[in-house]
Amino acid sequence: MTGTPGTPGTPGTEFDYVIVGGGTAGSVIASRLTENPDVTVAVIEGGPSDIDREDVLTLRKWLGLLGGDLDYEYTTTEQPRGNSHILHSRAKVLGGCSSHNTLISFKPLPSDWDEWEEAGAKGWNAQAMDPYFGKLRNNIVRVAKKDQNQIATDWVEAAKTALDVPEVVGFNDQPFDEGVGFFDLSYHPENNKRSSASVAYLHPHMEAGDRPNLHLFLETWAYRLELDGTTARGVHVRTKDGEEKLLSARREVLVCAGAVDTPRLLMHSGIGPKKDLEALGMECVLDLPGVGENLIDHPESVIVWETNGPIPDNSAMDSDAGLFVKRDPDHKGPDLMFHFYQIPFTDNPERLGYERPEHGVSMTPNIPKSRARGRLYLTSADPEVKPALDFKYFEDEGDYDGQTLVDGIKLARKVAEAEPFKKWLKREVFPGPEVTEDAEISELVRKAAHTVYHPAGTCRMGAANDELAVVSPDLTVRGLDGIRIADASVFPTMPAVNPMIGVLMVGEKCADLLTGSDVR
C-alpha cells in the first residue's frame, strides 16, 4: 500500500476504481475490492489517517471531536420552527463518521428495508439485506458489564416500570417495536477502542502492508468529477500542499462522500438541478433535479436533570442506553426514541439562558421517522464554499415532528418519577417543571432541538419513473456511466434506528454489485 501524495511510494494516477471518501461505506468497499490482488483501488480521503490517533480511536473521547480540526462543521440555514444554530458535524478523518460518532450499532429493522423497496429500491428488502449484517467485520457487542454504570442501570429499570416496555438484551437479536436497554456498540470493551469502518476494514492491511493494490490519498480533497460526455472517467483532487491532479478510473468512480459532500461534488461537476446550477453561472452537464433534495435527519431535543451528586464514572461513551416506544399501534416499528446521556447535555438550553448543572443527566426524545423533508443546495460556483443545508425542521404538515417531541418530554417525566431512577434526581433543569402546557413545551424543545448527526437521502435511490431519484437500485447514477454512489445519501427513507450499520451494509452490498458476489 502506498500513502499520501508527496511521500515516498506515492502511487500513479490511474486505477481500476477511484473511491471518493474513506469513510463508513468507502472503507468497506476499498477493503472488499482489493481482496482481488489484480484490482487497483485509490481512496481519496479529505482527512488524515486515524492510526495512532488516541483522540479518535478512544470511543469515550467522541465529544471532544465535535467542532475540532477533524470536523467539516456544516451549519444550517435559518430554521423558522426549529434551532438555527445546529452544527452538523461531519468527520474529516479516515473512517469518516464511524471515527467520530458513538458507534451505536443497530441493524436496520425489517420494516426499514421493506420501506426502501416500497419506495422503489427493488432488491433492498429485509430478506435480501439481512445477510449483509453477518458479513460485517466490526466488533459489534453489547455495552460491557463493566461499562454499565449504576444510574444507567437504574434508568433502564425505571423506564420498564413507568412505560411498561420490555428490557432488551441484544437489540440486534430480533426485530422490536418497543424496549429499553443498553446499546450494542462497535467497540472493544477491554480498552474502549473503536471498531470503526477504518479500524475493522483498513487497519489490518495498512499495518500488515499486504495490500499493495490499495492506495490511500489522505488529506486530499475531491472537488470535481472528470466526465467524458456522460461517462465518469476520474476525479480531480487537490492535496494539502495545493497540488492538483486527476485520478483516473479504468472501471468506475465510487462516490462515498456522505449525504453532504456527495451531492456537493455532483453539483460542482455539473450534475444536478439545471435551473439552480445555471443560476450560479455553472454549466449543467446532466439535469438531475433530485440531487440535494430529500434531505432527512433524526431530529431530537432534550430534557435535563440535575442529580443529587456525582454519578458513577464507568461508561463506554456516556450515552450507553436507549429507549424505544410505539405510540401509534398502526406504525411499523418504534415511533419515538430516547438516548440516555450520563452527562447534562445543555449546549442548546444554555443558549436559551439555562445553566448547566455541575452534575446531571439527560434524555433526548428523538423522531425515528421524521416527516420533514429539506434540501441541500449550492450558494456559489466556488467548490470551496460550503453548501446550504435547509432541513426544514418541524415544518412538516400536521406538526407530527413537533408533537413527537412533546410526547417525548411527557414520557421522560414519567420515567423520572419512577424508582430506582428518581432517587438520583434533584430537579428538572430543562425545560423546567413549570413548563407543562403542550404549546409551551413545544416551543422550548424545538428551540433547543438538536441533531444526532444522521443527514441522509440527498441522492436517493428509486425506481426509473421517480423523477427525483438520483441512483438506481444498482447504485448507478441515472443518466451516467462509470459511476455509483454508496453512502447515506442514497437512503430513500430514514431507518428508525441509528443508521451507521445501514451505511456499512450499503457498502457491503455495493461491493457485491461490483464483484458479482452473492451473500445468499
331 is catalytic: no
Q: What is the DSSP letter of 151?
A: H
What letter represents residue 335's amino acid? D
How many whole angstroms separate alpha carbon 433 and alpha carbon 431? 7
**Strand residue runs (E) in 174-230:** 179-182, 184-188, 193-194, 214-217, 220-228
Using CA atoms, how far residue 321 sits from 81, 167, 212, 502, in Å, is 29, 11, 41, 20
Mapped onto helix, strand or coil, the DSSP state of residue 247 is strand
**Minimal CA–CA distance to 219: which of 74, 63, 7, 68?**
7
Catalytic-labelled residue, pool 100, 215, 236, 454: 454
Question: Residue 490: helix, strand or coil by DSSP?
Answer: helix
Question: What does the alpha-carbon distance between residue 49 and residue 47 come to, in Å, rounded to a whole number?
Answer: 7
Cα separation, 25 vs 489, whole angstroms: 11
Residue located via cell numbers 460556483: 381
Compute the chain's Rg from CA coordinates.
Answer: 22
Q: How long is the chain?
A: 520
Q: Can you read off the three cell numbers belonging to residue 514?
A: 461490483
**Of the candidates 335, 334, 368, 347, which has an alpha carbon nearest to the alpha carbon of residue 302?**
347
Position of cell 444507567? 152
Active site residues: 454
